[in-house]
Amino acid sequence: MPERDPNIRKKDFEQVNCGYTQSEMLKEAKRCLQCQKPLCIHGCPVGINIPEFVRYLSNNNPKQAVIVLKQKNNLPAVCSRVCPQENQCEKFCILAKKNESVSIGNLERYAADTTARDDLNDVIINKKDIKIAIVGSGPAGLACGGDLLKMGYNVTVYESLHNAGGVLRYGIPKFRLPKDVLDLELYNLKKLGIKIILNTFIGRTKTIKELFDEGYGAIFIATGAGLPIFPKISGENLNHIYSANEFLVRVNLMHSFDFPNYDTPIYKARNVVVIGGGNTAMDAARTALRLGAKNVKLVYRKTENEMPARKEERIHAKEEGVEFITSTNPLRFIGNEKRFVKAIECMKTELGEVDNLGRRYLSKIIGSDYIIETDMVILALGLHPNPTLPSLVDGLIVDSHGYIITDDSLMTSLPGIFAGGDIIGGATVIEAMGMGKKAAEGIKKYLKNN
Amino acid sequence: MYKIINTEEIGPKIKSYEIYAPNIAKNAKVGQFVILRINDTGERIPLTIAGTNLEKGLVKIIFQEVGKTTMQLASLSAGECIKDFMGPLGYPTEIKKYGTLVSVAGGVGVAGVVPVIKELKNVGNKIITIVGARCKDLIILKDELRQQSDSIFFATNDGTYGIKGYVTDILKEVINKEKIDIVYAIGPVAMMKSVSEITRSKNIKTIVSLNPIMVDGTGMCGACRVTINDETKFACVDGPEFDASLVNWEELISRLGLFKNLEEIAINKFKHNQGCNCCKK
């Protein structure tokens, strides 16, 4: 897909990929071999009928293509942008063997974008008089809510923040997922009948018991991953050391890049070090560039091959000038006399033997300590589940890490309460959406039997 | 939208608002806080819940005009609305019988102390209250404090009310005279730190309510992290109350000043826009 020049795009928050023109789309769609036994579908966590939607596109019928997409996926404009297609559908494409797999994600985006403002939504028949509460308006919650709506249920989504979308709102930057794309998907769900109630922290503002007392037949907990992980090393709370979540929430949710027109401040550092190797680390590094940083270094403990971030994001980050420092682990943060971070003491690492579980040990190279000077550090080391809601519900069982335990239908230890997405352990937006859909099926079955 | 039902000026640049938020009023317990955002361009700030009116569905907040957001909040009138108002957040204060309790309140910290000592008195604690402020006018909620306290002392920097000096001067005397089971302190960080230094040397358990910078207030960002007993904790979900003797005070003081320059810019811009009517709001 055509992309904007790295030297221009790194100065703004506009999208990196430009999207297909009609002729580019047609050319790509026609490459699909329309396999008799399509493997790509098996690579899709929500089971989209990929050859069918691509066929409609090859006939230049995006309206029909999007109807096929929306049978399985309530947020195609979002997923086309944030799914790691190269590890999912595109990986299983028969053409992948020749390294020429069909760009399914780009085609999905074309279908979703060109029809975004059309009135495509299915009219809901067979409406039921049963209310279901969803806790959290991120990918898992919206996927579950969308499916339950289509089944005819009355769906209310509770969100603790002042804007809906979860990680799609506060986490993923505009240059990867423009917020009007998200707003439009939310608008379409609302038109379908979903109710979204903001500023409501279930467990605190309203309890789970109160929800049942109000007549909800089932509850789906999709509160997402919660607390950012800190490395537990000296100096981690020095000034201008941020979690990636804080940095991204300030920029994406609070619009701090436009301070003082918006009230939330952000520190615009000249030299930034991001620690981590996932998509969030890439998002943070590239956001730092867009805030005006001159040098952005990304420090990762293993080699680039082990980075969990998508290849595309790694390439984009490097093109824009993010310097990768791999096989390096921070030992401590060093501050100045006013407690502002000024440097990181690091140590080189090397990958060791493979253990019997297939994991490679990481060993530190003694005597390899060195200093990286910096004005700001962003820690993108992952998240622990937020303990607040589970701790406030008697009988809701969590594992030793704090993830809610569920059965095969995603029902928790409490009847009628289901859970999915990062609060039960997951990694990507589409995986969370897959769990949301599964929970919707589970809820349907539960309500039939009770 | 959350409607401001009543406003009252209870001190110079100190206001008490009652906001219509029935769900919060129903579930709030003493020691908890709310996060509010005035409008679409606003920032999220935490404020302690100073009381609730269950029948009318009201939540009371008391604030001093110190930053751009509190200045803007103070410019609103009854009948106007706040865009976002979310809570109750954080762990509530543990209410049980300790015996003799000293509550230390500094400045607008009084707003957080009043509901706490009311509950603690109800379960049979003897309450000795020490109140500090820069001058007489800045002592708020005097009647409420008196009502909830078995005995009460005042200290002002200029001596216009009570003794001339600090709450810690009184605290030392009280501790020397009588066996104290627990101290509960809310106020400026420097005050809480000084209280903690005194009580730690006497081995008196001390609870403080911390007020670091917050963004989401739900555990998501870690802006409010504080070091407690050498471990990183989040004030929003692990607090806001902590054992004072375990708090890294220097770090907290430093982190509170993180955005001082930018806060100054926001205040100046707000004041400038207040000057004329054309760009107001």
Q: Give this prediction's pTM.
A: 0.93
Could you tell me which residues are beta bridge partners of residue B232?
B227
A contacts of B215 (beta carbons < 8 Å): 246, 249-250, 254, 264
Q: What's the pLDDT tens digit per position in A159-207?
A: 999 999 999 999 999 999 999 999 988 998 898 899 999 999 999 999 9
B contacts of A241 (beta carbons < 8 Å): none
CB within 8 Å: B218 and A162: no
* CATH 3.40.50.1100, applies to A228-382: no
CA distances from A116 to A31, A51, A62 (A): 25, 21, 10
Q: What's the pLDDT tens digit per position in A98-118?
A: 888 999 999 999 999 998 877
d(CA A351, CA A207): 48
What are the domain boundaries of chain B? 2-89, 100-209
For chain A, residues classed under CATH 3.50.50.60 are: 131-226+385-449, 228-382
pLDDT at res. A120: 57
Q: Which of A244, A210, A44, A229 is nearest to A135 (CA)?
A: A210
Left, alpha or beta for B164 (phi > 0: left; psi -120 to 50: alpha)? beta
A contacts of B225 (beta carbons < 8 Å): 230, 237
pLDDT at res. A119: 64
Residue of A135, A137, A162 to mutate for B, most B C-beta atoms under 10 A: A162
CATH architecture of A131-226+385-449: 3-Layer(bba) Sandwich (3.50)
Look up the CATH number of domain B2-89. 2.40.30.10
| CATH topology (fold) of B100-209 | Rossmann fold (3.40.50)
From the candidate CATH numbers 1.10.1060.10, 3.10.20.10, 3.40.50.2300, 1.10.510.10, the one assigned to the domain spanning A6-114: 1.10.1060.10
Q: Which of A204-218, A314-328, A352-366 has the lowest mean pLDDT?
A: A352-366
Residue of B27, B34, B221, B254 to mutate for A, most A C-beta atoms under 10 A: B221
What ipTM was assigned to the predicted interfaces of this complex?
0.93
For chain A, residues classed under CATH 1.10.1060.10 are: 6-114
Q: Tell whether B37 lies on the interface with A, counting CB pairs under 8 A.
A: yes
Q: Which of B24, B37, B259 sits opposite A205 (nearest CB)?
A: B24
pLDDT above 70 (res A392): yes
